[in-house]
Structure 1
């Protein structure tokens, strides 16, 4: 994998920030976009901007082909059985809320259990809190080990015959923990529960096979994998989606509308009310082409090498606390002793280095870590060891600056 060649595909990386070459280490929040994605979106708006599905004119047909063609690319990318199992949404948050609002509220009652983990992103906590309140179900948490992982023994101890839904992130956006999704799904199914996976932090970085994982629902966002913002995917097993009611009603998702009743289109369109995210889907399709040309296995190996290199470099610095397991995805979350993460990020930004600071939409996990916030450097296909070196050098400057201040 030629990273320097890949970097040439990302125009935003070739600039200076605050007088320094940009070192972008915030891809877990949103990734940068390759030129092919920018071109695909621009071409749609410039050459065949039109609404989809009902139009019989040439532009409408071309737009429909682009939109539905992107759906088939997603199907192949995650190895879904059918395009009927691929719903376009605004992102992971919308996808999870759709399952919670539709499947959850229809299938849960008082005494049932929803099982999640304390490491979840708020988008995979709050929908289940609200669903539990609406249905009388109980929200339960699988405990974390000291390094921020879970054990299958704890999974087995937490999931019971009362459990109806298990919802878990594939990869932690804070700890980099890679959860054993296939094994957890198997345990969930043994108890008659369905399994939802938050794949926001895994789909851009590793090969996803929803049939192999045997999850019932899988959610991810386009903007973290080189695609546009505002586009995401909900995968669901066909028999589950067919039994679910839509959560948005209006144009595009209907079959027949009468004065007092209506019927819905077949899958996947019954969940895509209103004018769909056409340009976003086309851009996501272009991002998938780009990633597959590189190879997801190569991307995963590259990022894990960067993460291990960063861990080695940070391990030699005094006053740095790193959170999460040794084996992790491509990110490093840390704190510098006696320096607030926002101050760390501000000084690094002055050096042209972009990292994320805050609670990372994971306040329960911050409480578990006994911190109010952390800083995070996250890597993607365009990052290099030189980026890690610049980051560590910037962190050393940060440390020296605040030691002189105080």
Structure 2
């Protein structure tokens, strides 16, 4: 039996749930998201901080942050996705309002690498749907700001330009999350920004590919480099269980990031690598398709799950399945994504009347005892993105087209 057949059988086994008969209905799930978001809009205070970030387990009240928080772009991004899904101007106006709260990020010195999460999730989606010229200017300015963190000796963007535990400051650190922020640079390089931004993104992705992964293609959370020579000093964790463990959301960033890199470059090296980092993740999953926060936590099965990682991977796999030419593997990725979304859309994971978020059971920073088994805004963002992508495929249009 060849490897691809073995892979298909394994995925079928992992994602066969006899107690779930129906697949997720993206229309129904998107309407649910719209109603939850309307409830959140009614709760938001009239003064800053007013950007929803998370709701602790068993609570109904959001924790709010301001524009500097790394999660600040996800709420306006959700509103833009809801505007695309429903055509409701309430979401367009709110998306514009909360996006504009982030404008200082395009004018200030880079505080960390999260500018892509912040600006491309908000203004990036806003520009895609409205083509407002002022949005484009903000995106391009922010891409230039992000590029100031690039170290040519190392070949990556500095993630945290400040002292962070276990990062040997002032040496150069790069975290796997930074793969997502490369999309801002790719977009800017193709839409009026410097072509140098494209090269930075490619160099970062290839350097990370070389240094950030173990022999089985699981990712370190962070890699520390000598800032003068570019030599790798060590691979460590910050939010995972241990330096040598596979932190679920970190692996999800790798899956999403390398899928996006292939889209932007068409370099088959990235497509091959996206599959390698995906396969080690999928083969380690439990049957519901939702990972424990870290695959190597010895407390499993009594460890918390992470719905946010599942949402990121589901969205990525919908895109990756379209790139993979091997039909069996492509179908396995597509089925895995649908199963993840089916589980996330069930009563076990949707927040429903428990709070006004979309999802329950995400884990933010377990070692720091922060946002454990909580509702977290980035889980909601990638969940609705995945639902929109699935709906577009079912309608026979590209995931890159506007729904309406």
Q: TM-score band, normalised by the shorter chain?
A: under 0.3
Q: Structure 2 length normalisation: TM-score? A: 0.25
Q: Structure 1 length normalisation: TM-score? A: 0.25
More helix per residue = 2
Which of the pair has the greater relative contact order for Cα pairs under 8 Å at 6+ separation?
Answer: 1
Which has the higher Rg, Structure 1 or Structure 2? Answer: 1
